[in-house]
Amino acid sequence: MNILFMCVANSARSQLAEGLARSMFGKKASFYSAGSQPSKVNPLAIKVLEEISIDITGHSSKSVEDIPQKEFDYVITLCAEEVCPVFLGKTTKLHWPFQDPAGETNPELAEIKFRRTRDLIKEKIESEMPKLLTL
């Protein structure tokens, strides 16, 4: 099974989701992430996952064209307030909206928002992924 997480910049939410899902369910599926306007992996995404022993230091921000061309069983968009990327391939599309923590300019608040977003995405993956992997 192949699952793709998408957000606009592929710098925060989709990177968090890919790292979390791979850590929790990597033996049951292959997980990828991409964005419609890729930038770079946000250092705070790396930091908050390191805090829970998940290493994404080797990840890079990528567009759909940059990831292996596979048939995806699910494409999950994570945008809340922005226009989500569109995936044109044949797949089951799901939308899990999360606010983008990368927009916070205060460094202390940014860390808090990244941790909160990490924890919310983790809860969603824990509750929903087992259902997706058994279908």
Catalytic center residues: 7, 79, 84
What are the structure tokens assigned to 1, written together?
């099974």
- 3-class DSSP state of 32: strand
Spatial separation of the C-alpha atoms in residues 94 and 17, rounded to whole Å: 14
| Buried b / exposed e along 6-45 (16+ C-beta atoms within 10 A) | bbbbbbbbbbbbbbbbbbbbeeebbbbbbbbebeebbebb
25 — phi, psi (to 5°)?
-130, 20
